Amino acid sequence: MTGGAGFLGSHVVERLRLRGAADIFVPRSREYDLVQLDAVKRLFRDARPDVVIHLAARVGGIEANRLNPGRFFYENLMMGAQLMEGARLAGVRKFVATGTICAYPKFTPVPFREEDLWNGYPEETNAPYGLAKKMLLVQAQAYRQQYGFSAITVFPVNLYGPRDNFDLETAHVIPAMVRKFVDARESGHPEVVLWGTGQPTREFLFVRDAAEGVVLAAERYDSSEPVNLGAGFELSIANLAGLIARLTGYSGRVAWDTTRPDGQPRRCLDVSRAEKEFGFRASTPFEDGLRETIAWFEGSGIS
């Protein structure tokens, strides 16, 4: 399983072990640079997998995408294309690819339905990353059509939870806010500055729920059609900030830096296909997930 030591991947490994999986091979980037074809070939020789779950990605928030569009496009594209081809040549029984919500068009009607994936260009700040990950879907469908290769593609919405990335240079919105509010509370700072206008909306999926969705798809789903993984709710960034401020105990002001980009205007998924096809439904109440995320960060020693 690529990315098995990462945020989502570490939780997927735990779910697999709970189901009795004993032989889980997790390649580390220092040993297998999956952007390089030779490393991909060596990985399949060493691991000899029956099923591949591809979670590895070069990823970050709006600023990381803005600063690294070429790197994010190239590395994600090469990892996905070479891994799936390697899996086909190695006779792998099933390949599970994870796309991204960033692949959807910038102005997708809400809730996002899988049929809308091709109805426009993604939001510009993360389009290179989103399009590179979207090619996993194209490759999976092409390989199923030509080779009868069992490859599926799931599209998780924004994830959050314990073990997330709290580095402010690369973090997504929830861990970035958690860190800013906790740091401001601890330092007694009277104001926290957040990006954009606060008006865009997002949907968030707790990482353990996402891991369960990935494992259920691996177990039960075998179709060329993409599947959303989400919780099916919509929340404005401003309301999210107010909620995290309350849960972290921060009582200062929130200021919005409107010179910074908002990203995609709205995000909320139609999650009915995942429930229909393989019985997945998110089960973690959002505030409960946020409390656990905040508690993990405060106990992590990250500074």
| Residues acting as catalytic residues | 129
Neighbours of 184 (CB within 10 A): 21
Task: Count Cα atoms within 13 angstroms, Cβ side, for 46.
Answer: 14
Lookup result for tokens 């990353």: 129
Helix 173-187 crosses helix 286-300 at what angle (to 10 degrees)?
Answer: 60
Pairing relation of β-strands 158-160 and 204-206?
Answer: parallel
**CA atoms 11, 154, 217, 30: torsion sign:** negative
Calpha distance 128→217 (Å, rounded): 26
Q: Where in the chain does DSSP place strands (E)?
A: 51-54, 94-98, 151-156, 158-160, 191-195, 201-202, 204-206, 227-229, 235-236, 253-257
Tell me the residue type at 59. V
Contacts of 177 (CB under 8 A, 6+ apart): 194, 240, 241, 244
d(CA 266, CA 108): 8
Residue among 66, 87, 84 at smallest CA distance from 76:
84
Distance CA 72, CA 133 (A): 10
Q: What type of residue is 6?
A: G
